[in-house]
Amino acid sequence: MTKLIVICGATATGKSGLALALAMRLDSVIVSADSRQVYQEFNIGTAKPSAVEQNLIPHYLIDICNPKDTMTVAEYQAQAQALMTSLPSPVFLVGGTGLYIRSITQGMKIPRVAPQPELRSQLESLGQTQLYAMLQQVDAVAAKKIHPHDPVRTLRALEVFYVTGCPISEQQGENPPDYPILQIGLDCDSVDLTNRIMQRTEKMITDGLVAEVEYLCQKYGSDLPLLNTLGYQEIRQYLAGDVSLEQAKELTVLHTRQFAKRQRTWFKAYPQIEWFDVQNPDLLEKVWQRVQEFIFRD
């Protein structure tokens, strides 16, 4: 039977490195749970495992999508679920995209409705107040779970309803997998996390992030949605002459800290996750001990 080991937590907590070390000990494989590492050519700014690391251990769901396309959670889930039953056990699911991880560990039922640009544009022109009122009429159950000032979820609920004719609340739910899952969370105090974010940002610049963003802007256009994401947006501002490189780095650190805070809040809401302090010098051995207990128990 498949056994799944999740390594999750906020950005810059060392998830990839720990997972690689564990997978090498078990001669196992890694499935990425990162919503940006699925895109080709977005490498440095997404902290994508290097070619050397990917040669050491097979990595899956990396570089599977053209940057001009959109990888939905439903598409990710379908591919990841297929891998879970076909890859040799144990499988490591590694990343900081909480929704990707939850789609696997909880078996979220996700409406198979791709984004509808024209429909969304028409709906957005109505304004959030009217959209939420419409949602209350067509799907009162979903409206009770969505904040009146949450345009993203309101729009998605309406989109699903108008495409399928069925309320999104009737298409959601969970169907957890029947294989055992161990969820390991990595965390540290805010001061250490800030230092880690600063060091990683500096390393990305040293590794050539500016050149990567410049290349991506030239190839795909600076209006590519992915270039509005963390790290890329700030360097794009630098290339446009709006900020200095030092300011771009400071903004990247600030925005990454804010993102990490949201990630921590998300993951802390799940009691199934067993937390380990990344500042512990014996981190690898402590997690290794827990992994062995999980794999070899009857």
Per residue in 156-215, pLDDT tens? 999 999 998 888 888 777 788 999 999 999 999 999 999 999 999 999 999 999 999 999
* Of the candidate ranges 72-86, 102-116, 150-164, 178-192, the one whose mean pLDDT is the lowest: 102-116
* pLDDT above 90 coverage of the chain, percent: 86
Cβ–Cβ under 8 Å, residues 8 and 37 = no
- In this predicted structure, what is the pLDDT of residue 25? 96
CATH number at 117-170: 1.10.20.140
List the domain boundaries for the chain: 4-108+175-296, 117-170
- In this predicted structure, what is the pLDDT of residue 282? 97
Determine if the pTM surpasses 0.75: yes
**The Cα angle at residue 65 between residues 59 and 68, in degrees rounded to 5:** 150
* CA dist list (Å): 273 to 84, 263, 265: 19, 13, 13
DSSP-derived pairing of the beta strands 59-60 and 91-94: unpaired
Largest CA distance in the chain: 61
Class at the top of the CATH hierarchy for domain 4-108+175-296: alpha beta
b (16+ CB within 10 A) / e for 80-102: beebbeebebbbbbbbbbbebbb
Average pLDDT, the chain: 94
